[in-house]
């Protein structure tokens, strides 16, 4: 009789049988045995009968097929013993315990985790879920089967690409059994895309993401200064890239100041150091920032493909130049930067012109500018001469105005004389009519008539003569009032007053114009910077061309450009000094 201990192999006892005699089942079982224990026991009256007890720890993967296999092996043993006529004794074993679902699940989990170590599984991602916990839950499937998989948050952060449904990947991890769901699943340690490498896929995904956000838009890129005098460099201070960059930069233009932000350029944490260096230099108020390193593989250059570096470059207020690797190497930093240089040496050549060539160009430009200014001044002088010729001398213009005034006055006098002549003729005609009418004769006739009628009309004479006398006096006064000589005198006085007013107005106008001209001339002379510099003053500029007004705007060691009345100086600041009074003339003579 044969029994089975849960979790172990068969136990076989052959009484009265030597150690060398074994059935077919014993030989087969011995080949798969792992632990073999030989004991001697006394059973059924047979003394010192050797018994071979084999306890085998079979893999738990055979748990589901074990009973059927063991039953077949038991039948084979019984039939073989019957044919050989051997007596077989039975051993009563305890009944196998009944397992709970949890115990069974734990045994399955232990068997799977013990049998399978780290596995690599190739399949297509489906049913991908990204909960707020940061873990990734998905299935790996092919044409015939599928299995659940999970990638926890810590490992998901290390992925170089973004998993998505439909991607074919190779998952590395361990097999386990999820007891609560009753499913076998793979706990992944890493994912590798099939076909394109993880780095290439991550590069394209990040490139597409940043392009959609507009970080590659040429409209947002800042112009690079023509001659940056303060350059910041983010790179490794011990690499060959910084040596090449500095050598070419100072060979072409020695006066450029370089500030280096040391950082690692490859390996874990390099991207964060590069981004930190960019932000540090951006706060220094430099003219341009250069992010550079030498050539290498895509893994070596990967720090410049990280999103943190790209966003630091995009957020910088200072123009950024990317000079990473060789000419054939492209990184995300190249697309985000305001200017891409193929190599560190090319970056130095793009930023710094050759000083001798620049001085030659400046001399040529200065000569052309002087000629242009000379031509412009000549053209303006010719225009002034033309305007002066067109305007003429103010004295001549005043003389012309005077001539015009004299002509108008003469025309006015002639008009008055013509009018007076007409009035004289009218008065003469009236006088002639009056003379012909002879009021005196009429008066005499009236007197005669009056004498004749005096006696008759003596009583009425007072009432008749008085009104006529008043009428006569009124007519005489009317004739005197219309005397043309009075009106001629009044017009002459009015003409003289107008002439005096016109002369006074011309004098006042000429005085105002002369006073305004003298005031503007004096104002222009007072505002002339050459006149201020001629009195012994100077103007100090920073290297950026900004005028200094306070000692707080400079620091020791900084170079300044001082403009004098005759020439200019380049000085270096030693430190603040006490205000110095101007020397008196007698002290200067001593």
Q: What is the mean pLDDT of residues 60-74?
A: 39
- Who wins on pLDDT, 179 or 230? 230
Whether residue 508 has pLDDT greater than 80: yes
Confidence bin at 368 (pLDDT 50/70/90): very high
Whether residue 336 has pLDDT greater than 50: yes
- Who wins on pLDDT, 506 or 205? 506
Whether residue 48 has pLDDT greater than 50: no
Q: What is the mean pLDDT of residues 437-446?
A: 70
What was the pLDDT predicted at 589? Answer: 42
What was the pLDDT predicted at 226? Answer: 87
Per-residue H/E/C for 432-482: HHHHHHCHHHHHHHHHHHHHHCCCCCHHHHHHHHHHHHHHHHHHHHHHHHC
- Who wins on pLDDT, 417 or 580? 417
- CA distances (Å), 20 to each of 14, 48, 52, in order? 11, 15, 10
Whether residue 79 has pLDDT greater than 50: no
Tell me the β-bridge partners of 52.
38
What was the pLDDT predicted at 46? Answer: 34
What was the pLDDT predicted at 378? Answer: 92
Q: How many C-beta atoms lie closer than 10 Å to residue 163's C-beta?
A: 19
- Who wins on pLDDT, 263 or 53? 263
Contact 265, 306 (CB under 8 A): no
Average pLDDT score over the chain? 77
Confidence bin at 58 (pLDDT 50/70/90): very low
Whether residue 31 has pLDDT greater than 50: no
What was the pLDDT predicted at 457? Answer: 60
- Who wins on pLDDT, 135 or 536? 135
What was the pLDDT predicted at 52? Answer: 37
Range in 38-52, 59-73, 138-152, 501-515 the model is least confident about: 38-52
What was the pLDDT predicted at 471? Answer: 82
- Who wins on pLDDT, 445 or 30? 445
Torsion of Cα atoms, 59 then 62 then 66 then 69, to 10°? -110
pLDDT (tens digit, 9 = 90+) per residue, 382-430? 998 888 777 766 777 787 788 888 888 899 999 999 999 999 889 888 8
Contact 153, 133 (CB under 8 A): yes
Residues 6+ apart with CB under 8 A from 229: 255, 256, 257, 287, 543, 544
Confidence bin at 166 (pLDDT 50/70/90): confident
Confidence bin at 380 (pLDDT 50/70/90): very high
Phi, psi (rounded to 5 degrees) for 38: -100, 125
Confidence bin at 462 (pLDDT 50/70/90): low
Spatial separation of the C-alpha atoms in residues 303 and 305, rounded to whole Å: 5
- Who wins on pLDDT, 6 or 575? 575
- Who wins on pLDDT, 82 or 541? 541
pLDDT (tens digit, 9 = 90+) per residue, 99-150? 888 888 888 888 887 788 788 898 888 888 889 888 999 999 888 888 999 9
pLDDT (tens digit, 9 = 90+) per residue, 273-328? 999 999 999 998 899 999 999 888 777 888 898 889 999 999 999 999 999 988 88
Q: What is the mean pLDDT of residues 448-462?
A: 69
What was the pLDDT predicted at 579? Answer: 74
What was the pLDDT predicted at 70? Answer: 44
- Who wins on pLDDT, 194 or 63? 194
| 3-class secondary-structure state, position 331 | coil
């Amino acid at each position: 009789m044969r029994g089975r201990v849960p979790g172990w192999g068969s136990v076989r006892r052959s009484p009265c049988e030597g150690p060398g005699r074994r059935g077919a089942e014993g030989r087969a079982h011995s080949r798969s045995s792992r632990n073999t224990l030989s004991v001697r026991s006394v059973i059924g009256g047979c003394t010192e009968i050797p018994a071979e007890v084999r306890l085998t720890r079979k893999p738990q993967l055979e748990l589901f097929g074990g009973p059927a296999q063991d039953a077949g092996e038991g039948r084979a043993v019984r039939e073989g013993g019957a044919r050989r006529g051997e007596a077989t004794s039975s051993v009563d074993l305890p009944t196998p315990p009944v397992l709970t679902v949890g115990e069974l699940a734990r045994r399955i989990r232990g068997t799977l985790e013990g049998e399978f170590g780290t596995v690599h599984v190739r399949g297509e991602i489906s049913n991908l879920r990204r909960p707020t916990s940061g873990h990734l839950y998905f299935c790996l499937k092919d044409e015939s089967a599928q299995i659940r998989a999970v990638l926890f948050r810590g490992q998901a952060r290390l992925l170089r690409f973004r998993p998505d449904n439909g991607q074919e990947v190779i998952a590395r991890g361990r097999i386990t059994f999820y007891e609560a769901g009753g499913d076998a699943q793979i706990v992944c340690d890493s994912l590798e895309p099939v076909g394109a490498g993880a780095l290439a896929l991550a590069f394209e995904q990040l490139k597409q993401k940043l392009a959609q956000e507009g970080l590659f838009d040429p409209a947002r890129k800042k112009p690079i200064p023509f001659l940056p005098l303060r350059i910041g460099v983010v790179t490794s201070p011990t690499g060959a890239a910084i040596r090449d960059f500095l050598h070419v930069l100072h060979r072409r233009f020695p006066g450029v100041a370089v500030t280096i932000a040391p950082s690692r350029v490859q390996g874990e944490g390099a991207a964060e150091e590069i981004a930190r260096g960019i932000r540090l230099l951006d706060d220094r108020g430099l003219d341009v920032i250069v992010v550079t390193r030498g050539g290498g593989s895509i893994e070596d250059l990967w720090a410049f493909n990280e999103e943190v570096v790209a966003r630091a470059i995009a957020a910088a207020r200072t123009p950024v130049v990317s000079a990473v690797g060789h000419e054939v190497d492209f990184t995300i930093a190249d697309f985000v930067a305001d200017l891409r240089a193929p190599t560190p040496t090319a970056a130095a050549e793009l930023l710094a012109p050759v000083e001798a060539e620049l001085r030659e160009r400046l001399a040529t430009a200065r000569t052309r500018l002087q000629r242009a200014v000379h031509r412009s001044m000549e053209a303006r002088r010719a225009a002034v001469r033309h305007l002066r010729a067109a305007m003429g001398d103010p004295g001549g213009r005043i003389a012309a105005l005077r001539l015009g005034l004299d002509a108008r006055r003469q025309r006015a006098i002639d008009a008055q004389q013509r009018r007076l002549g007409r009035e004289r003729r009218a008065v003469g005609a009236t006088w002639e009519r009056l003379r012909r009418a002879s009021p005196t004769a009429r008066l005499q006739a009236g007197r005669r008539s009056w004498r004749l009628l005096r006696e008759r009309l003596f009583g009425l004479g007072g009432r008749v003569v008085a009104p006529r006398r008043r009428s006569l006096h009124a007519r005489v006064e009317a004739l005197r009032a219309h005397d043309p000589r009075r009106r001629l005198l009044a017009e002459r006085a009015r003409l003289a007053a107008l002439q005096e007013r016109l002369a006074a107005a011309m004098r006042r106008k000429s005085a105002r114009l002369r006073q305004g001209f003298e005031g503007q001339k004096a104002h222009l002379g007072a505002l002339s910077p050459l006149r201020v510099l001629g009195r012994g003053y100077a103007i100090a500029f920073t290297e950026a061309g900004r005028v200094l007004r306070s000692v707080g705007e400079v620091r020791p060691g900084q170079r300044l450009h001082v403009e004098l009345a005759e020439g200019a100086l380049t000085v270096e600041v030693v430190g603040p000094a006490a205000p110095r009074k101007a020397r008196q003339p007698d002290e200067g003579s001593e």
